[in-house]
Structure 1
Amino acid sequence: MVSPLLGECLSRAAAANVLHRNPMSYEALFHMSSRGIWSEMSSTSQKHRSFVAEPMGEKPVTALAGIGDTLGGRLIEQGFDRAYVVLGQFLVLKKEEELFKEWLKEVCNANSKQSSDCFTCLREWCDAFL
């Protein structure tokens, strides 16, 4: 069911589209802009949301937010071929943001955004599953 606030501001088709894409938190995806128009707001990528939404299993390292083919290849060369292996390092570093981001920069030359995206992805996955 669409909230009254969304129902007033969005057409039925637009509200249905929002609900279809993210039924758990549709209100969090939208904010009122300065012009009074609802616009999409998301601080995480679809890749991040997909990763955090389910158990890790045997996902490849490239399933982690912030880790594409280039960084993934570098991680694989260093022995970090699966997301759970990177999670292990994350836990060894006691989920410390700066330590993990520095480690990721050193091991695969990740930039600040990539290392931050990966850290946030793993932290939120841990919050959901550990």
Structure 2
Amino acid sequence: MSSTSQKHKEFVAEPMGEKPAYVVLGQFLVLKKDEELFRDWLKDTCGANVKQQGDCYGCLREWCDSFL
């Protein structure tokens, strides 16, 4: 079992901009998990850079593949 880094723990404990994490997941699902649309939404909503967009998309995609 892998351990969670402190940086990861701090990241998931914080809201994304003014939106709590569940709103980000909801938008990901509303956009039907479309990577391009989701990345554009992140950029427009909170100014996420390319790395942040990719990290967020990958994390949500992996979580959805595992639990939905």
Q: Describe the superposition over 1:17-47 as per-residue Cα deviations: whole angstroms up to 9, x where unpaired.
A: xxxx63xxxxxxxxxxxxxxxxxxxxxx842
Q: Tell me what 2:42 maps to.
A: 104
Output the CA distance in 1 between the equivalents of 2:63 and 2:57: 10
Letter in 2 for 1:106: D
Measured on the aligned residues, the alpha-carbon RMSD in Å equals: 2.6
Q: Tell me what 1:126 maps to.
A: 64
Output the CA distance in 2 between the equivalents of 1:126 and 1:112: 21
Runs of 4+ with >6 A deviation: none
Letter in 1 for 2:40: E
1:63 has 2:12 as partner: yes
Letter in 1 for 2:44: E
Q: Tell me what 1:90 maps to.
A: 28
Q: Tell me what 1:26 maps to.
A: none
For structure 1, list consecutive stretches of 5 or more residues without a partner in the other structure: 1-20, 23-44, 51-61
What TM-score do the two structures reach when normalised by structure 2?
Answer: 0.79
For structure 2, list consecutive stretches of 5 or more residues without a partner in the other structure: none
Output the CA distance in 1 between the equivalents of 2:57 and 2:64: 11
Structure with the bigger percentage of helix: 2
Query: Percent of aligned pairs with the same residue?
Result: 56
Q: Secondary structure at the match of 2:48?
A: coil
Q: Describe the superposition over 1:66-100 as per-residue Cα deviations: whole angstroms up to 9, x where unpaired.
A: xx78xx3xx21xxx22x111100000000000100
